[in-house]
Structure 1
Amino acid sequence: MIPPSVSRTTLWPALFVLAVLVLLPLGRSSELPLACGGIAALVLLARWRVDWRDHTSRLVFALFACYWLPALLSGFAAVEHGKTWSTVAVTLRFLPFALFTVWALRDAARWSALTAAIGMIVALWAIDAYVQMATGYSLGGAAEMERVSGIFGAGNLKLGPVLAVLSPFVLLAARARFGRRGLALAFVLLVAPILLAGSRAAWLSYALVGVLLAWHETRDPRRFLGVLAALAIGIGTLGALAWHDSTRFGARIERSLLALRGTERAIDEASAGRLSIWHTALAMSAAHPLTGVGVRGFRYAYPHYAAPNDRFVDTASDIGASHAHQIVLEVLSETGVLGLAFWIAGAWLALRAWWRADAAARARAFAPGLALVAMCFPLNTHLAFYSAWWGLLFWWLLALYCAALAARGETSEAPHPT
């Protein structure tokens, strides 16, 4: 049901923002609403319907600068100029879309319905994963041999990271609708798909979301520890059942337990070779300290800095691992210390905007903000933030975060950009 303060003529911009998420499992299809929103933003800017000088627009420009300028600077000494400069060019599309999102969601009355819609979409993806667990098939087709792949398909194993990162929308929507009991049930609903999707980075991200939400709900050390104990027992029980009943999940756990042997080789095997990739990323960073090897140039520089007989080096094509699999090492190896400084500045700007916002704005921004924390938490492994797909999700969340902090109870602007 559309709130009385939100007319049907003003609903379509919010639907374009939501369409990016709906089409996310379908490869590059999500680029279409992203492009439409970006074009609309350019029209709005030309007609002064979006003021690039206001506080929120300046925040968007500043955050984008902290993301894009490292890529730009890395291009001048890139190891693969064509790939880096093309990435610099295509990432420009995120800026107008972020401005469009802030404009589209400027009315605070839209946020309750929007958060519920996002939560419903992510919950449906989780239910689809349950169907795949039971039948072997989902909307994305047959399950991958070792993991539940869900709606994303066996060739695109992103179900776990996406469910974990977007889980705050499901959990907070359930909390708003059904109280703490709904929050607990929603948390349990997401546990099995995230565990069986097989991404250990997703397990850590979801655990982080659970810890932060537990503190948000309790705000008392004793109650907080009690909730954490209950969470640990519950997840441990579910994990033990999955280990016993699922050979796919058991294999992931047994590989992870190799790290307990303590040797470098065992830790590297437990981390699926991540230790080798991280050593190589550090070697790249040492050789290119200022601006790195260039965004998306990691795979091309990899063979020159990898150890002999590195498993990720393809001697036929002379390329290696696609990215550093860790946000700090990705930024450091591809954009250097200058890039890392920009990213730290961006994190500070985002936090400062939160600190300066009022209680209502923080409540709106809590879900996308918590999702960004889960996505960027540095003590984890990560997908590539300068890639087309993960970078798009990252900027979709950043745009929602900025829009949530800027939304107002009323707006006098005309609803349509044309």
Structure 2
Amino acid sequence: MSDTAYRAAAPDYLHAALILGSFALFATAHLVHYPVALMSVLGVAAVVREPARLREPGVRTLLLLFACIWLPMLAALPDAVAPTRTQKTVLLYLHLLPAAIYLAGACARPEVLRLVTQGVVVLVVFAGLDAFAQLIWHEDFFGYPYEDGILKGLFYPKQRLGLFLALFAPLVIDVVRAWCRQYPPLWLLHLPLLIVVLVSLKRSAWLMLGVGLFGYAFVVRRAHDGRPALRAWHVLLLVAIAGVAVATNPPLRNQIATSAGLFSGDAAAFDRASAYRLTLWRDGLAMFADNWLNGVGPRGYRSAYAEYAAADDFWLERSGGHGQTHPHQMTIEVAAECGVIGLAGLAMFYVVAFGAWRRLAGQPSSPVWMLCALVAWFPLNAHLAFYGSYWSTLVWMLLAIALARLPQTPPEQLRQAA
């Protein structure tokens, strides 16, 4: 590469390095917030330098989506049960918008989008192989142990591995399908990822994986590229791998056996089988009933928990009287903390997001990025906090990358005009 070509390509590589570094740091507890803060500063600078950027289709859609989530948070402030914490949450949430604007601008450059897409897939595949090594040798590449029958891999000691692998499964499948045109054996990269998601013992990850695979089949069908998402023998092999994983992994067998209580029809059995989630959901719905308009305030669930919990509440006893930080069900969390206003905003968010997803048809990789964002905020998800900074940061990064190349006109109208 000549000096001129190198200088021309250098900005693309710098953008991609910052974005990929941010994704890599999700394996840590808090370090991801530093590069995201830098992206926020860069986003503000970009808008100040070029105000016209706010009129781009992807950025306009980002602004609308952000308003759907943030304005209900603001409306919950006046009578929040934990004013200081809610104020901090609402104000700090704002920095995600300029960070998303920066990401949308950077990934509007085709080479940056290509580098980020393939780089994220490499990171996810590496995380899966690292966890697979942990499963086999009871220690991953970095010395993190396999404890209590739960794979945690690079996310040790947090139990987030399965969530991330399941979330990015559609993107991995999409990129590996392209790689397989030249190197067909690379299809085998899917196998350790499937095993790790199963053995992570996160039922919420299993749900996300199922939703993501179903959504990806829809994306492929809309693309009309003539290639099935998975061939019949692929499906049979995946089923066989899943069966072997169940047969040979006692913790996984126990988790599946415990999950049978979810279908027992008995409330107490359901509560135990759901890891006492039913208790959290009841308390969250009680908060919603008492604060139906604007909720108890973002991140206020933890402060109101003791007031709504029973005297013998499992979580109160386990935590020494503090209870849980969030209800582990995204729709209930929105209802409890932002009320009907929050639910209306969330419904509008889905309407706008699905409309954008439709307009992204035909764009390289962008529909799959949007699918990952929708899977992350699937209404039935029962894992990390909806208003928590960790998961919110991830979702807005996904949305920004997805919308970076949003066209002005839906592809159907473009075809009709032609």
Q: Which TM-score band (shorter chain)? A: 0.7 to 0.9
The structure 1 residue matched to 2:115, chosen from 96, 110, 113, is 113
Greater mean alpha carbon deviation, residues 113-122 or residues 257-266: 257-266
Which residue of 2 is the match for residue 292 of structure 1? 295
Q: CA 1:230–1:208 in 2, change beyond 3 Å: closer, same or farther? A: farther
Which has the higher mean CA deviation after the structures are superposed, 59-68 or 124-133? 59-68
Contact 2:47–2:54 (8 Å) recurs in 1: yes
Paired AA for residue 58 in structure 1: R
State the alpha-carbon separation in 1 of the partners of residues 280 and 110 from structure 2.
44
Over aligned residues, Cα RMSD in angstroms? 2.9
Match of 2:333 in 1: 330
Deviations 1:335-383 (A, max 9, x none): 00101111111121122223334623xx331221121232222234231
Question: Deviations for 1:23-57, whole angstroms, at most 9, x for unmatched residues?
Answer: 11122111111111111122222222662233332
The reply to whether residue 129 of structure 1 matches residue 131 of structure 2 is yes
Q: CA deviation at 1:391?
A: 1.3
Whole-Å Cα distance in 1 between the matches of residues 49 and 230 of structure 2?
52
User: What secondary structure is seen at the aligned counterpart in 2 of 1:137?
Assistant: coil
One-letter code of the match for 1:256? S
The structure-2 alpha-carbon separation of the partners of 1:274 and 1:146, relative to structure 1 and needing over 3 Å to count, comes to same
CA apart distance, 1:93: 1.2
Partners of 1:140 and 1:150 within 8 A in 2: no
- Please report how far the alpha carbon of residue 186 of structure 1 lies from its aligned counterpart in structure 2 after TM superposition: 3.8
Residue matched to 1:72: 74
- Secondary structure of the 1:97 match is helix
Q: 1:170 to 1:182 in 2, by over 3 A?
A: farther
How far is the alpha carbon of 1:119 from its aligned partner? 0.4
Query: Secondary structure of 2:298's match?
Result: coil
Q: Equivalent residue of 2:314, what SS?
A: coil
CA distance in 1, matches of 2:253, 2:359: 46
Cα deviation per residue 1:142-197 (whole Å; 9 max; x = unaligned)?
A: 123131000000x2110011110012221111011114966853432311110111
Q: Please say if 1:401 is aligned against 2:391.
A: no
The size of the alignment, in residue pairs, is 401
C-alpha separation in 2, matches of 1:219 and 1:391 = 28
Q: Name the CA shift for 1:350/1:218 in 2 (closer, same or farther; >3 Å).
A: closer
Q: Given that residues 83 and 297 in structure 1 are in contact (C-alpha distance below 8 angstroms), is that contact kept between their aligned partners in structure 2? A: yes
In structure 2, the CA distance between the partners of 1:84 and 1:373, relative to structure 1 (3 Å rule), is: same
Q: What corresponds to 1:367 in structure 2?
A: 368
The amino acid that maps onto 2:15 is P
The question of 1:201 aligning with 2:218 is answered no
| Alpha-carbon separation, structure 1, partners of 2:152 and 2:17 | 26
Q: Structure 1 residues 45-54 or 285-294, which shifts more?
A: 45-54
Classify the secondary structure of the residue corresponding to 1:87.
helix
Does the 8 Å CA contact 1:295/1:335 hold for their aligned counterparts? Answer: yes
Residue number in structure 2 paired with 1:146: 149
2 CA distance for matches of 1:303 and 1:230? 52
Deviation of the 1:210 alpha carbon: 2.1
Match of residue 307, structure 1, among 280, 304, 310: 310
- SS of 1:295's equivalent in the other structure is coil
Structure 1: distance between partners of 2:217 and 2:289 = 40
C-alpha contact 1:288 1:336 (8 A) present in aligned 2? yes
The reply to whether residue 387 of structure 1 matches residue 385 of structure 2 is no
Instruction: Give the letter for the 2:36 counterpart.
Output: L
Q: Given the two structures, how large is their TM-score scaled by the length of structure 1?
A: 0.87
Change (3 A) 1:348 1:316: closer
Deviations 1:68-109 (A, max 9, x none): 112111121111111111111111110110010111112123
**Aligned mates of 1:119, 1:126 — CA distance in 2:** 10
Residue in structure 2 matching 1:166, options 153, 168, 171? 168
2:277 aligned with 1:269: no
Q: Are the counterparts in 2 of residues 301 and 319 from structure 1 also a CA contact under 8 Å?
A: no
Cα separation, 1, equivalents of 2:227 and 2:315:
43
Confirm or deny: 8 A CA contact 1:385 1:394 kept in the other structure. Answer: no
Identity %: 29
Measure the CA separation in 1 of the matches of 2:350 and 2:311: 37
Give, in whole Å, the separation in 2 of the partners of 1:109 and 1:226. 25
Cα offset for 1:319?
A: 2.4
Superposition TM-score, scaled by structure 2 size: 0.87
| C-alpha contact 2:85 2:300 (8 A) present in aligned 1 | yes
The question of whether the paired residues in 1 share the 8 Å contact of 2:12 and 2:111 is answered with no
One-letter amino acid of the counterpart of residue 301, structure 2: F
Contact persistence 1:38–1:96 (CA under 8 A): yes
Aligned partners of 2:319 and 2:276: how far apart in 1? Answer: 20
* Distance 1:107-1:35 versus aligned 2 partners, 3 A rule: same
Task: Please name the residue that 1:377 is paired with.
Answer: 378
**Contact residue 170 and residue 372 of structure 2 kept, 8 A:** yes
Which deviates further from its counterpart, 44-53 or 253-262? Answer: 44-53
Report the residue type matching 2:392 in the other structure: G
1:347-362 matched pairs, under 5 angstroms: 347-357=350-360, 359-360=362-363
What does residue range 224-263 of structure 1 map to in structure 2 within 5 Å? 234-263=237-266
Task: Give the whole-Å Cα distance in 1 for the aligned partners of 2:268 and 2:235.
Answer: 29
* CA distance in 1: counterparts of 2:61 and 2:46, whole angstroms: 18
Contact 1:211 1:228 in 2 (8 A): no
* Structure 1 pair 357–208 and aligned structure 2 pair: CA distance change class (3 A): closer
Q: Distance in 1 between matches of 2:41 and 2:164?
A: 27
